[in-house]
Amino acid sequence: MFRITNGKGFHITFANGYTLSVQFGPGDYCNNRNAACNPGEHFTQARDRCGRDGCADAEVAVFDPNDHFVQLGKYNKVIGGVSPARVAEIIATIITDPQSLAFRADDAS
């Protein structure tokens, strides 16, 4: 299932119950993070502009079938600056081996 989220990204829920969130608007961890409003522009207009114009990277989060964040890093439940190619890799992992996405303490060096 696909869902548009706040006009600045989307969610994809897969058959295994995992959901990928890809966000690329103001306030998200991406190149549009500090997208300023144009003079006289309301925040929602800036958000919609970013959603329409796109972004070179995005903020990504993954939710398990119980709608809990999957811990993607040692300190973060979301990762920023994710390229389209990396989003495709994450999608493939969600489909084939979603448990491998979760950060484990022994992964840290």
Compute the average pLDDT of residues 53-62.
91
Tokens found for residue 10: 């989307």
- Quick one: which of 55, 48, 38, 39 has its CA closest to 8? 48
pLDDT of 105 above 60: no
- Quick one: which of 95, 89, 93, 73 has its CA closest to 29? 73
pLDDT of 39 above 70: no
pTM of the model: 0.85
* Structure confidence at residue 16 (pLDDT): 97
C-beta of residue 56 within 8 angstroms of C-beta of residue 87: no
pLDDT of 89 above 80: yes
* Structure confidence at residue 53 (pLDDT): 76
Percent of the chain with pLDDT over 90: 54
* Structure confidence at residue 75 (pLDDT): 85
* Structure confidence at residue 41 (pLDDT): 65
